[in-house]
A and B are shown apart, each in its own frame.
Chain A
């Protein structure tokens, strides 16, 4: 078991769902495959996907939805086997 952090590379706004009426990309505690989109970052009206590089259990998000993030901020913790 190892814990990995997923960090932001950009400053911007953090979103956990693709649109206000959509369900969350993933819930805390959920198992995700490598390559899963777990959130969006909006920077100057452009959206970048936050994607997991490895498979594992998404333990928790470290920032609240729709909050501002800076480069290097930890967005989420992933537990791998």
Chain B
């Protein structure tokens, strides 16, 4: 059922709020942005048609307060709420509350958020749709014999993981049966002492994994893909450098990967923009689904650059009840795009956050260059939210040309007054790994620890953090 959106409440801040305002304005939709006391002077507040103050700086008392956000939406007469990313974007009960209030939640149904937000349920849904998942034991393995049997099916090397573990704790790796026999009892003992529960399960260990994700758009009936993004350059599991497409996929694998994403999204009758994340084993060429993000993502612009599709506008049109504005044949891939995240952090000091007063800004310009940012000159960056200041996105016809354009653009960029991650990207562009596209999800950490080793004597006088 079509119900045009006339007034949109933006339940977010920063660059994504600005991005949503721009998309809405082009669709002739009036915008209201909610803001905390710390954001009253923000670019989003300046650009939106209206704003509504919803509480103090702390996100828990403002941007994360579902009741307050919903009350404001009703008060201002908004037909729809766009949650952006983070905050309430993957909160199924908020999506439900919107639905019950007759306000359109710009995103999937509460049930799709619930299913895909639960890793175990998403894994089950993937298996049911015939999408490969990381091979693992069927639940816990109760004995060494059980572990050997499961490893025979999964294939070595395997990870022995504590069922009660998390965040990388309680993991041991065995490359063959002999190591499994040796490691299994240790893993069980460690799990018992660390988590009070000796249960362990097995999973295939992928030594050289890449993080590749597929962008999809669905209208609740049909789903299309907009190709993949490679986000393997990560620091502490945070993406900092993303490219579309992946430099390591051949056309047959790309086709199979994207088709599997469409199949899974169709299986959950997906509506809106979503991303299916995969691990790609560079050695075997296999890909495995790991989880789905049921929202727009930070790195969406690189997909927009290679396909020409405005994902935010598509989200709003789908939310208004339109069928998918594109069919799969309309989506073609052209050239190569790269995004780097300019964060207010000091790469020389363990990425210490650097909020503060921004001075003059020079943005790079020219063909194939795009900036999505919350900044303007003489803006006081608040200390309460994440450190993302701007996304520098470049496009060119080939990967080497895009890398050259990125280097040129980073050279033009100047943000006075605060430390940023800009020098890190200039250094990264000089590495063989980035030039060749041969990196995995652990590469950046390895590269940085190598650099720290080189710099050790010079760093001995550096001050210490609190």
Contacts of B57 in A (CB 8 A): 13, 68
User: Are the CB atoms of B465 and A13 closer together than 8 Å?
Assistant: no
Smallest CB-CB separation from B57: which chain A residue?
Answer: A68
Contacts of A44 in B (CB 8 A): 344-345, 353, 355, 383-387
User: Are the CB atoms of A66 and B386 closer together than 8 Å?
Assistant: no
Contacts of A42 in B (CB 8 A): 384
Contacts of B386 in A (CB 8 A): 44-45
Contacts of B383 in A (CB 8 A): 10-13, 43-44, 68
Kindly state whether residue A76 has any CB partner on chain B within 8 Å.
no
Q: Which stretch in A26-34, A47-55, A56-64 binds the other chain?
A: A47-55
Q: Distance (Å) between the CB of A14 and the closest chain B CB?
A: 11
Complex Cα–Cα for A66 and B56 (A): 11
Kindly state whether residue B58 has any CB partner on chain A within 8 Å.
yes
Task: Tell me the total A-B contact number using a CB cutoff of 8 A.
Answer: 44
Q: Distance (Å) between the CB of B93 and the closest chain A CB?
A: 19
Q: Distance (Å) between the CB of B233 and the closest chain A CB?
A: 20
User: Are the CB atoms of B466 and A10 closer together than 8 Å?
Assistant: yes
Interface residues of B, dominant DSSP? loop
Q: Distance (Å) between the CB of B177 and the closest chain A CB?
A: 42
User: Are the CB atoms of A49 and B385 closer together than 8 Å?
Assistant: no
Complex Cα–Cα for A66 and B59 (A): 12
Smallest CB-CB separation from B381: which chain A residue?
Answer: A44
Interface string of A7-31 (1 = CB under 8 A from B): 0111111000000000000000000
User: Are the CB atoms of B466 and A48 closer together than 8 Å?
Assistant: yes
User: Are the CB atoms of B466 and A13 closer together than 8 Å?
Assistant: no
Complex Cα–Cα for A28 and B54 (A): 33
Complex Cα–Cα for A42 and B356 (A): 15
Besides A9-B466, A46-B352, 15 other CB < 8 A contacts? A8-B466, A9-B465, A10-B353, A10-B466, A12-B384, A44-B345, A44-B353, A44-B383, A44-B386, A45-B386, A45-B387, A46-B353, A49-B466, A50-B466, A51-B466
Instruction: Spell out B's residues near A (CB within 8 Å).
Output: 57-58, 344-345, 352-353, 355-356, 383-387, 465-466
Chosen A-B contacts, 12 in total, with CB atoms closer than 8 Å, are A8-B466, A10-B383, A11-B355, A12-B384, A13-B383, A43-B383, A44-B386, A45-B385, A45-B386, A48-B466, A49-B466, A68-B383
